[in-house]
Amino acid sequence: MIVLLGGSGFIGRHVEAALRELTPQDVVVLPRGEDPRPLTPKVVINCAGATRGRPGELVAANVVLVSRLLAMIEPGTRLLHVGSATEYGRVPMGPPVTEETTCLPVTPYALTKLTATELIRASEAEATVLRPFNVVGPGATMVGKLVRDLRAGGDLVVGGLELYRDFVDVRDVARAVALAALSDESLPPVLNLGGGEATAVRDLVSTLVELAGPGRRVTPGETAPEAVPWLCADATAAGQALGWRPEISLRQALQHAWEFTGEAAGQQDAPREPEEAGDE
């Protein structure tokens, strides 16, 4: 049995789909706030958490929940936790980030995610933190907002155009989580999930405009003072441990995000859990 927390969130929904495609095992998706104590799963996957909110809310969603999970995980149960590349913070521009890179988080969200990672690493649980880099694709908040702005007409005002990020499709991330859940091998404590290529946010926006709104102008907006200039993954370890690599290109991810947002337009939004790591 595999227990999934946060299955109604952005990444969690895709993890559930990947699991159901790859395994006949029972996959139990717990509602938000429900603990896995009554169950004896082989694997617990934590996709629950929050990317936004006051510091106390972030601590409750990203740290306290993990602490509770560690307290109730039975010996022999594998814990997989979705972390965030923001845990690395400011890194030297140029070389890809490995799992051994020193973490220097610069936002409250990143700090709470790193705190959860350190709790997991200090525990005796059989646990792995999977750190997706910047997650795009159907349902991603950042790309979804750009798509909605394009559909509304007019020009785009986008901050952070000068930043560089390693964009990875949510379905590739979900597949990596599912592969980790199904692996019979011992896994490293932390695994980066990214494509190994840093793309300027300006180029992502240009590609989206080319696909969805030819002729629209893009005006630079304000860049947050805490924004990290560069972030790119070395995902060698994930390739070795899981036989994983991204399969969906950035262009495909943006095309699918455009189509997804069009299909969702006009549908009433259902209540959703706070977005989980990666959609930053």
CATH number (domain holding residue 122): 3.40.50.720
Q: Which two tokens stand for residue 141?
A: 């908040």
Q: Say if residue 33's pLDDT is above 80.
A: no
Q: Per the domain annotation, does 279 fall within a domain?
A: no
DSSP assignment letter at 109: H
Q: How far is CA 166 from CA 37, 61, 77, 86, in A?
A: 37, 25, 32, 12
Report residue 127 CA to chain centroid gap. 17
Q: Per the domain annotation, does 257 fall within a domain?
A: yes
Residue percentage of the chain with pLDDT more than 90: 78
- Please state, as a whole number, how many other Cβ atoms lie within 10 Å of the Cβ of residue 49: 30
Q: Per the domain annotation, does 165 fall within a domain?
A: yes
State the amino acid at position 51 in one-letter form.
T
User: What pLDDT is recorded for position 40?
Assistant: 83
199-200 vs 164-165, strand pairing mode: antiparallel
Q: Quote the pTM value.
A: 0.92
Residue 139 φ then ψ, to 5°: 95, -5
Could you tell me which of 119, 134, 107 has the C-alpha nearest to residue 189?
Answer: 119
- Please state, as a whole number, how many other Cβ atoms lie within 10 Å of the Cβ of residue 239: 14
Number of domains in the chain: 1
Q: Per the domain annotation, does 86 fall within a domain?
A: yes
Q: Per the domain annotation, does 115 fall within a domain?
A: yes
Give the pLDDT confidence of 252-271 residue by residue, as tens digits. Answer: 999 999 998 776 544 444 33
Q: Per the domain annotation, does 273 fall within a domain?
A: no
**Which residue range(s) make up the domain with 229?**
2-264
